[in-house]
Structure 1
Amino acid sequence: MISIQVREETGDIVAHGSSQLDWMTTLQHVDADRFPFLGSLLPYADTMFNSRQTVRLRQELADRSVRELLGQDTAAEIEALCLQVERTSHLYLWFLGD
């Protein structure tokens, strides 16, 4: 499982995602060439995106095949967390692997 958080640059947690998705299974179906940001997520490692990268991540989430793979609720939650990062300085979106 991968959990999702928005953190300040100090590491303080600002927001938590609530989606529980089996990323090991899901990530097997992500075309990393077509979706490089989602394709860079690893089920057993941490990945951080800055505000410029979250813009690109949101573009990937707009693809219908990605929304079907992740589920509408999960995709919408990740988009909302991306927007939170983009609207405030010094925030980062973290995907935390098990």
Structure 2
Amino acid sequence: MINLIVRGDNGRFVARAEAGVEWTAGFGDLSPTEFPMLWALTPYGDAVFNQRQIPLLLAELDRLPRACGGEWVQQARELCQVVERGTHRYLWFVGD
């Protein structure tokens, strides 16, 4: 399970998603040229997105294959808004 958390630049917790990303083979099949943001996800590591990367991540969520989707997608969108509304905030995808 990959958890989604918004943190400040000092590591301070800001918000978290209820749902996590269930890693499926579909994520491994994502093209790094078509999905460079989501391609960065791994089931056992962390990926961090800053305010400038959020629009790119949102665009990828719009065209994400159904096999990779789930409840986490809407919650990721909401957390993206939290990042965009503040300064020095980052969206973390935290692997196991």
Question: Is the pair's TM-score, using the shorter chain for normalization, greater than 0.5?
Answer: yes
Number of residues of Structure 1 aligned to a counterpart in Structure 2:
96
SS, match of residue 23 in structure 1: coil
**Structure 2: gaps of 5 or more residues:** none
What CA RMSD, in Å, does the superposition of the two structures yield over aligned residues? 1.6
Aligned partner (choices 65, 72, 76) of residue 78 of structure 1: 76
Q: Post-superposition shift, 1:75?
A: 1.2
Match of 2:21 in 1: 21
**Runs of 4+, deviation exceeding 6 Å:** none
SS, match of residue 51 in structure 1: coil
| Matched AA of 2:69 | G
CA distance in 2, matches of 1:93, 1:21: 14
CA distance in 1, matches of 2:47, 2:82: 17
Q: Deviations over 1:2-61 (max 9, x none)?
A: 111000111011111111332253422322221100011111111111001011100111
8 Å CA contact 2:5–2:14 kept in 1: the answer is: yes
After superposition, residues 1-98 of structure 1 pair within 5 angstroms as 1-63=1-63, 66=64, 68-98=66-96
* Superposition TM-score, scaled by structure 2 size: 0.88
**Structure 1: gaps of 5 or more residues:** none
Q: Which 10-residue stretch deviates more, 35-44 or 68-77?
A: 68-77
Change (3 A) 1:69 1:24: closer
Which protein is richer in helix relative to its size?
1
* Superposition TM-score, scaled by structure 1 size: 0.87
CA distance in 1, matches of 2:19, 2:25: 15
